C-alpha cells in the first residue's frame, strides 16, 4: 500500500500512547498537500502536542483536534466532526484518494474484579459505550461520508480479544465484540473492493494502560508478568509497534478483516 496519497486521517485516542504515535507516523507518510488529519481524545492540551509534533514534520497538513468524551458520545458527534473538518478545509470527501480511520481509544476496565463480579450494568454500559458503541458509531458515520472512497479501517485489537486473560474480564469481552464487528464489516464490504479492514494487535506496550494492569490486576501472575516485561525492557515502545504497523500496511501482507499481531511479522 502506497501511503503517500491525499488522505483524510482520523485517529481516536491520539492524545498519548499508541494513538499519538500512530497519528504521528502516518502523518509523516501521507501527502502533505491536500491531506487532513483529525485527532480525537479528551485532553486538548495533549492533543495539541500531538498536532505540533505532526506539523513539525509535515507542515503542509491541515490538523484538527477535538475533545470528545467517548463514554457519552453519539453518532451525531462524529457526523459533526466529519462534516465540520471537511468544511473548514474547504474539502469534499470525493477529493481524497484514501480515508483512514484508526479506532485506537480504549480503556482497561476494572482489573481488580473477577469475571464473576462484573455484573454492575451501569458500569458495563459506560465501559461498553467508551470501548464499543463509540467505535461503531464513528465507523458507521465514516463509512457513510466516505462511501465511494478507498478506505482503510484499523481496529486496535489485542491478544485479549482472542484469548481469555485473568483480571481482564471487562477488557477481553469488549475487545472480542469489537473485533467481531470489524470482521463482519470486512466480509460485508469484500465485494465493493473499497474497504480494507485490519485488526492490529500491537503487542505489549509501555503505556498508561499496562501500568494500570500492573497496579490493579487481581491475578498475581498477571501483575508479575507485566512488571517483569517492563523492567526487563521486553515491553515494546509505541514507536516500535507503530513502525511494525506501517511495515504491515506497506507490504500489505494481510486479508481484509484479519487479526494481525506484532509478533506475526
Ligand X SMILES: NC(=O)c1ccc[n+]([C@@H]2O[C@H](COP(=O)([O-])OP(=O)(O)OC[C@H]3O[C@@H](n4cnc5c(N)ncnc54)[C@H](OP(=O)(O)O)[C@@H]3O)[C@@H](O)[C@H]2O)c1
Would you count residue 204 as binding ligand X (CB under 6 A)?
A: yes
Would you count residue 43 as binding ligand X (CB under 6 A)?
A: yes
Interatomic CA distance for residues 65 and 43, integer angstroms:
10
User: Nearest 5°: CA angle at 96, between 91 and 100?
Assistant: 115
Binding-site member from 19, 34, 109, 257 for ligand X (CB under 6 A): 19
Q: Which is nearer to ligand X, 68 or 150 (CB)?
A: 68
Binding-site member from 90, 121, 191, 208 for ligand X (CB under 6 A): 208
Would you count residue 139 as binding ligand X (CB under 6 A)?
A: no
Would you count residue 210 as binding ligand X (CB under 6 A)?
A: yes
Nearest Cα to 104, choosing from 15, 185, 193?
15
Counting residues that bind ligand X (by CB under 6 A) gives 29
Q: Which is nearer to ligand X, 96 or 197 (CB)?
A: 197
Binding-site member from 6, 28, 29, 46 for ligand X (CB under 6 A): 46
Q: Which is nearer to ligand X, 62 or 206 (CB)?
A: 206
Interatomic CA distance for residues 256 and 124, integer angstroms:
30
Binding-site member from 25, 35, 139, 158 for ligand X (CB under 6 A): 158
Would you count residue 207 as binding ligand X (CB under 6 A)?
A: yes
The residues in 80-109 that bind ligand X, with binding defined as CB under 6 A, are 104-107
Site residues, ligand X (CB under 6 A): 13, 15-19, 41-43, 46, 68-71, 104-107, 130, 156, 158, 201-202, 204-205, 207-210
Amino acid at each position: 500500500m502506497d501511503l503517500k496519497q491525499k488522505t483524510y486521517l482520523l485517529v481516536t485516542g491520539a492524545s498519548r500512547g499508541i494513538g499519538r504515535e500512530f497519528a504521528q507516523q502516518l502523518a509523516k507518510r501521507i501527502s502533505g498537500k491536500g491531506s487532513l488529519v483529525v485527532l480525537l481524545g479528551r485532553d486538548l492540551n495533549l492533543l495539541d502536542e500531538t498536532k505540533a509534533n505532526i506539523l513539525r514534520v509535515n507542515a503542509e497538513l491541515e490538523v484538527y483536534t477535538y475533545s470528545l468524551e467517548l463514554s457519552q458520545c453519539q453518532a451525531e458527534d462524529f457526523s459533526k466532526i466529519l462534516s465540520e473538518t471537511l468544511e473548514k478545509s474547504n474539502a469534499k470527501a470525493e477529493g481524497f484518494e484514501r480515508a483512514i480511520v484508526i479506532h485506537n481509544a480504549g480503556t482497561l476496565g476494572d482489573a481488580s474484579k473477577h469475571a464473576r463480579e462484573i455484573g454492575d450494568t451501569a458500569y458495563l454500559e459506560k465501559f461498553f459505550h467508551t470501548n464499543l458503541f463509540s467505535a461503531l458509531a464513528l465507523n458507521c458515520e465514516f463509512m457513510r461520508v466516505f462511501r465511494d472512497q478507498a478506505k482503510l479501517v484499523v481496529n486496535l485489537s489485542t491478544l485479549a480479544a482472542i484469548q481469555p486473560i485473568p483480571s481482564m474480564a471487562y477488557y477481553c469481552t469488549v475487545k472480542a465484540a469489537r473485533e467481531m464487528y470489524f470482521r463482519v464489516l470486512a466480509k460485508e464490504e469484500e465485494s465493493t473492493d473499497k474497504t480494507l479492514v485490519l485488526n492490529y494487535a500491537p503487542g505489549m506496550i509501555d503505556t498508561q494502560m499496562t501500568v494500570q494492569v500492573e497496579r490493579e490486576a487481581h491475578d498475581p501472575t498477571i501483575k508479575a508478568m507485566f512488571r517483569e516485561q517492563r523492567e526487563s525492557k521486553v515491553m515494546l515502545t509505541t514507536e516500535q509497534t507503530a513502525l511494525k504497523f506501517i511495515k504491515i500496511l506497506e507490504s500489505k501482507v494481510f486479508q481484509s478483516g484479519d487479526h494481525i499481531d506484532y509478533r506475526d511479522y
